[in-house]
Structure 1
Amino acid sequence: MAERKAVIPPDQVEARLAAELPKWRLEDGWIRRTYKTQSWKSTLMVINTVGHLAEAAWHHPDLTASYAWVEVRLMSHDAKGITDRDFELAKKIESVIQWQPGLEGGALEGTPQGDQRFAYVKYD
């Protein structure tokens, strides 16, 4: 079993969020991020993506969802606070959800722009 990680003080959490995850915020003891989506279909894809990453990391966020958004909340339940584990998972979630292969110039072109049939995440 993994050892209990040290809780990061709130002022350090705020500083790290500003430097490492500027779209995330500290609120009520959780680091949080709301992802806006185009539809229920894309909301479910975001939820499933977060679920896969969390399960692989064995660290489970709380999620709240509606038709066109998903809020991800992270806190290490066993440590009763924010730890490095929360930051690592948040970074992985951020990199995967915000990935836009069409901007990378490779063989993966990304979802078609301008056609609502293929609308996905509302990228920041």
Structure 2
Amino acid sequence: MSETPKEKVYSPEEIEARLAAELPTWRLEDGWIRRTYRTHSWKGTLMVINTVGHLAEAAWHHPDLTASYAWVEVRLMNHHAKGITDKDFALARKIEEVVMWQPGKEGQGLEGTPEKDLRFAYVRYD
């Protein structure tokens, strides 16, 4: 049985550079890359948690989450490698892409949630 190659663990300087270039809304803190998503309510918070959960399970790479009424913090670090690896950046990009998707901005027939009606408010877009 062959051993899988060890994943590259990025240095703090490399992580900061990649975040700045690829994921400017994410930050490095206490050995994790992190992002806080602001929502309008508990409903939006649960939708973000479920979205992150689906993506993490599909990727087989699981973040730590902390949530409150109107926010969700996502923390990524490769536990097996004991640091930040390409898996963390890849999952962070996919989470960012899906959670921050605004269909009404694409003009492809999907109008998105009404911006002015708070009954349908979801994520607070950056």
Q: TM-score interval w.r.t. the shorter chain? A: over 0.9
Gapped regions of structure 1 (runs ≥ 5): none
Cα 1:85–1:2 shift into 2, 3 Å? farther
Q: Distance in 1 between matches of 2:4 and 2:90?
A: 15
Pairing 1:64–2:70 present: no
Segments of 4+ in structure 1 off by > 3 A? 1-4
Alignment correspondent of 2:24: 22
1:4 Cα deviation after fit: 3.6
Q: Is residue 42 from structure 1 mapped to residue 38 from structure 2 by the alignment?
A: no
> In the alignment, is residue 96 of structure 1 matched against residue 87 of structure 2?
no
> What is the number of equivalent residue pairs in this alignment?
124
Which AA in structure 1 matches 2:65? L
SS at match of 1:80: coil
2:121 aligns with 119
Q: What residue ranges of structure 2 are gaps of 5+ in the alignment?
A: none
CA deviations on 1:53-85 (whole Å, 9 max, x unpaired) are: 000000000000000000000000000000000
State the Cα deviation string for residues 1-41 of structure 1 (Å, max 9, x = none).
96441101110000000000000000000000000000000
Letter of the 1:91 counterpart: R
The one of 49, 66, 76 equivalent to 2:78 is: 76
SS at 2:46 equivalent:
helix
Computed over aligned residues only, the root mean square deviation of the Cα atoms, in angstroms, reads 1.1
CA distance in 1, matches of 2:56, 2:6: 18
TM (norm. structure 2) is: 0.96
Partners of 1:9 and 1:75 in 2: CA distance: 13
Please say which of residues 84-93 and 1-10 is displaced more in the overlay: 1-10
